[in-house]
Copies of this chain bind each other. A is one copy, B any other.
Amino acid sequence: MDKLQELETLLAEVADLAKAEAVLGWDQQTFMPPGGAPARALQSSLLSRLLHEKFTSERVGHLIDDLSAEMADLPYADDTAALLRVLKRDYAKALRLPAAFVGELSHASGLATTAWAQARAANDWHAFEPHLARMLELKQRQAEYIGYTTRQYDALLDDYEPDMPTSQVAKIFDAVRQELVPLVQAIQAETQRVDDAVLHRTYDGAKQWALAHDALRAIGYDFERGRMDHAPHPFCISFSNHDVRVTNRVLPNLFSSCLYSALHEGGHALYEQGSPDKFERTALSGGASLGVHESQSRLWENLVGRSRAFWEFFFPKFKKTFRKNAADMDAEKMYRAVNKAQPSFIRVEADEVTYSLHIMLRFEAENLLLENKLRVSELPTWWDEAMSSYLGITPPDVARGALQDVHWSMGLYGYFPTYSLGTFFSAQLFEQARKELGDLDAQFARGDFQTLRAWLQTKIYQHGRKFTLNELALQITGEPLQTRSYLAYLKKKYSELYGL
């Protein structure tokens, strides 16, 4: 047990450094004045380097190896077994990337992100091309350093969704796409059936903010262990399971933005606030993967927040806050308004039905680019054709096409699929919750979200990083990730909404 204590002590410092760096990052995106940027970059990169040095020390490696051998007989679900399993994976990866390469990647990504922002503003693909090409080359090298059996993409995806093979994602995406494309077309033909004009009226910012607080409180977000601040982009960040913060923004003429961002980030935050104390300052704290995390945010945003029952509960609050805008509305009308589905160019503005098609397109593009089957210069045309084939629309310019996302310039390849994997998993989970928890709609309609949250605590939150997405799916629902529940949910809901 002495070796385990030594390892835990060493890694507690690694965890503390990661959280300290997170505080610096949070401040940078919320309150930091413009002048603070250059010094902050130095401070953050120092913490990041110290963290890497501490984690990749030889002693840590020896301890992981020794303990893994000594404890090989522990059951798979044992906390210590899971800790060693996760550490072994993290350590091997951290060691495989040479420090010089990490520096190169970080430098190139800094340049590419700046170039991307300028290129998007100027609607100029040509200016971004060399940066995308450079990042691709680096990510190809990264995949080689990390290693893989069949596809480079496996090595990259594994950073965000451990043990999820590219082949499983491809198979799932192919199957879902075949169902989604006709559904989108059918909805398109009946587009006038759902009216979302109410969302585009003028809404006071402070009142929207207060209502977002109400929604967060309702789902059980603990403000004694968190807070919501303004930031250009909504996100959730954790400095410990007792200090989990969200950010949000207010759009005066799009009511749904602030409320649903609160529920989305709130879903992430419930997961992090639910991470058990016993995992604090270890590699097991927090969420299992990006996909599992996204299952939690999507569940609260869409399966709860965009349900009819939610609006039965929430409409009186909405009406009290925005009497004038709500005058000609009721719960049912609001339910319909927040569920309008229609093809659009921008992923982050997409609705529940079309969202995954945006993701699939990116997943295909990433793979084609990485495998040199598509050239960077050909991407915009390829993109427009895919959009036309999946969503029936063609972007008017590259800024609203292949140039819209920041991810690739930041080096995030293999990240996009997790958005959809999480979305599919959320429906699979929710179907199971319905089976086990009785009438969820009745609970939501009276403002009871705690039964569901307590269930998620037991099924998901309490396990921290112990299990993968597929393992959790199997434990909770008896089968690995599937898309049947997701497609059934979408078809039922949207057939009714659009009279299909």
Contact = CB atoms under 8 A, between A and B. Distances in A.
Counted per complex, copies of this chain come to 2
Interface in A186-229: 222-227, 229
Given A20-B20, A20-B24, A243 B39 contact: yes
Interface stretch (A40-48, A74-82, A102-110, A471-479): A40-48
Contact of A227 (B19, B31, B47, B245): B31
Contact of A225 (B19, B36, B225): B36
A51 to B, nearest CB: 11
A50 B35 CA distance: 27
Contact of A33 (B24, B225, B281): B225
A77 B475 CA distance: 71
A40 B210 CA distance: 28
A16 to B, nearest CB: 5
A403 to B, nearest CB: 29
Contacts of A19: 39, 43
B23 A42 contact: no
A281 to B, nearest CB: 7
A171 to B, nearest CB: 41
Contact of A242 (B12, B36, B43, B50): B36
Contacts of A222: 35
A398 interface: no
A438 interface: no
A34 interface: yes
A284 interface: no
Given A20-B46, A46-B20, A39 B224 contact: no
A35 B243 contact: yes
Interface string A14-36: 00110110011001000111111
Interface of A: 12-13, 16-17, 19-20, 23-24, 27, 31-36, 38-40, 42-43, 46-47, 50, 222-227, 229, 239-240, 242-243, 245, 280-281
